[in-house]
Chains A and B, each alone.
Chain A
Amino acid sequence: MPEQRFFEALNHAMFEEMTRDERVFLLGEDIGLVGGTFRVTEGLMAEFGARRVRDTPIAEATIVGLATGAAQGGLRPIAELMTLNFGILAMDQLINHLSKMRYMFGGAVSLPVVVRAAFGGGTQKGAQHSHSIESWFVNVPGIRVVLPSTPYDAKGLLKTAIRSDDPVLFLEHEMLYATRGEVPEEEYLIPFGQAEIKRPGRDVTIISWSRMLLESLDAAEKLSKEGIEAEVVDLRTLDPLDFETVLASAARTRRAVVVEEGWRNVGVGAEIAARLQEHLFYDLEAPVQRVAAADVPTPYAKNLERLALPCADQVVEAVLKATL
């Protein structure tokens, strides 16, 4: 199977969907002429023209609102926020409008909008450019939240997102863009709400997504050398959440660790831990462990940033705690 980089897989997904459906169009900052800050939209303006690949002013709220209005008018926009940090300026449009409109209008409108954004820390970009705030959006009903960890998943999930008639927030970790993986040439889609067991194991279940999935796999490799076989579950979409796969795995291993890059306090891990104890209170051998970011703004200094963000060693530590 040919290999592709993460950003290329995303690019091909959009190329294919724009070719397939002329209602699909792109808007965002620096996406056209220069092909995107992370090269994800490279070549698309040359292929589809400035009408369907639209460079916008730096106006995040209006980028999202414009996409929402265009969807009301029958188009299928993909809005790029460059990074989720800037998306915070668009929270009103994302939360009060895009996520709410279908329900509050009694189902009278469907909004096939994909909002793509890079996110995440680990590259010394400091407090305002390192957010992993997916939990904010998972908390809000009305918008799907998708976080692929491999080029294969990135392509299949983005194609599903573009064909979805519901709003989708599609989050791409900045450190994943250059990663490589196998991507078949033939067309495929990955449905939402289907977690994938990226590594089978019998002793403990590690639940993760996006870049932390790679740290979790790393940890599983290290643990294997110690004789602990960890099962690593990639959630892939946080909304809808495939809790059944998580539950089935944890019911087998009786131990679970949730690994996320976002802050620990009221993070996604807290929700998964709560659900696991609701279902497996008497079956779990140990409390569900959470590996997450330190509850501080992401610091710049390399050593401090390393301390702030979760890594494979912390996952190993948490697994050891859960398997004592």
Chain B
Amino acid sequence: MTIPHADQIRLYRDMALARRFEEGVAEAYADSFIGGFTHLYTGQEAVAAGSISALNHDDYVNATYRDHAHALARGADPARLMAELYGRTTGVCKGKGGSMHFYDAENYFLGGYGIVGGNLPLAAGLGLSVQMKDEDRVVMVFFGDGASNNGVFHESLNMAKLWNLPVIFLCENNFYGIATDVRISSSFNEIYKKAQGYGMPGHVVNGMDVLEVRELCDEVVRHVRQGAGPVLIEARCYRFGGHSMTDPARYRPRAEEELWRKRDPIPRLARHLLKRQICDQARLDALQAEVNETVEAAMRFAEESPVPAPEALYEDLYVEEPGA
């Protein structure tokens, strides 16, 4: 185990924050403070927390519509994220993006995107900018098992390898594209092996174990940063809820859900930290209390924030207006 103890404790805090944040979102959604499509990350926390913690602050990240935990892991302000969900002017995108479209340039979180696979070419483009500007950066792009069947997945991997771009393609395989089991939608289910088709390394990792994710990503990030070209990672994980807030996930066997819940990444890390005496229960309790307070404050901040002014409707469309 090469991960510093402080980092391990930090990972516990990051996952607990992501979990509590989503619980808060679910409450606020039920109370109609949040509308539209809202996709919770509950169950998958180890993937975003573990992988993003392996990055430098100024490495680029973009993600899918299930983007809350990624923005949090990048260090985005939970209050401004929550305000975005509430459609308030204090939100990270001034209330114009919503759940699926977080953006935080200061923390190099370059967007959540709502079209399956659509963010993959953007990540390749970011990689190209890094390479052409000779910057010391890598790009990490998140997508789901569903996107791996989309044309741009193949186009992006091909071009990333063709030009040896510094991109880590991280597939969050939660086994369902909305309701469709990956076994029904994919001719070949070992997604990480698709890397071979483009001559790049592919790895699979247990996405329910944050330390495993972090260890693999430490190694992969080092590799990519050295200029060795893109890498594909498949993190196998499970969303505990439905696809979105309005999906009761009736298509999944209850026994399967129970099995995966036993693999919950947060208690798993807690057991490890206690067993190895990296910290005690009191420390974990204090961290939990801290994130609870953070989310509560975020929800207060969001609720008290103003909605966008009507004038905002026509703002932020173009940089340049003719005649202006």
Contact = CB atoms under 8 A, between A and B. Distances in A.
Most buried by B among A56, A92, A191: A92
A25 interface: yes
Contacts of A56: 159
Nearest to B159: A62
A65 B121 contact: yes
Interface residues of A, number: 47
Given A75-B133, A102-B317, A106-B91, A69 B126 contact: yes
A104 B97 contact: yes
A58 to B, nearest CB: 9
A67 interface: yes
Interface stretch (B148-156, B214-222, B243-251): B148-156
Contacts of B321: 240
Contact of B129 (A65, A72, A240): A72
A66 interface: yes
Contact of A62 (B104, B132, B156, B315): B156
A266 B130 CA distance: 43
A298 to B, nearest CB: 26
A102 B126 contact: no
A307 B115 CA distance: 40
Nearest to B105: A108
Given A96-B115, A106-B93, A165-B319, A70 B128 contact: yes
Contacts of A61: 121, 151-152, 155
A107 B322 contact: no
Given A65-B118, A97-B115, 17 more contacts: A25-B132, A51-B132, A56-B159, A57-B158, A64-B121, A66-B125, A69-B122, A69-B124, A74-B133, A101-B111, A102-B317, A105-B111, A106-B97, A107-B94, A141-B317, A144-B318, A164-B319
A104 B93 contact: yes
Contacts of A165: 319-320
Nearest to B318: A166
Given A61-B151, A104-B96, A66 B159 contact: yes
23 contacts: A56-B159, A61-B151, A61-B152, A62-B156, A65-B122, A65-B152, A66-B122, A66-B125, A69-B126, A70-B125, A70-B129, A70-B132, A71-B125, A72-B122, A73-B60, A75-B132, A75-B133, A102-B316, A103-B316, A107-B94, A144-B318, A192-B322, A193-B323
Contact of A69 (B95, B97, B125): B125
B103 A105 contact: yes
B129 to A, nearest CB: 3
A142 B96 contact: no
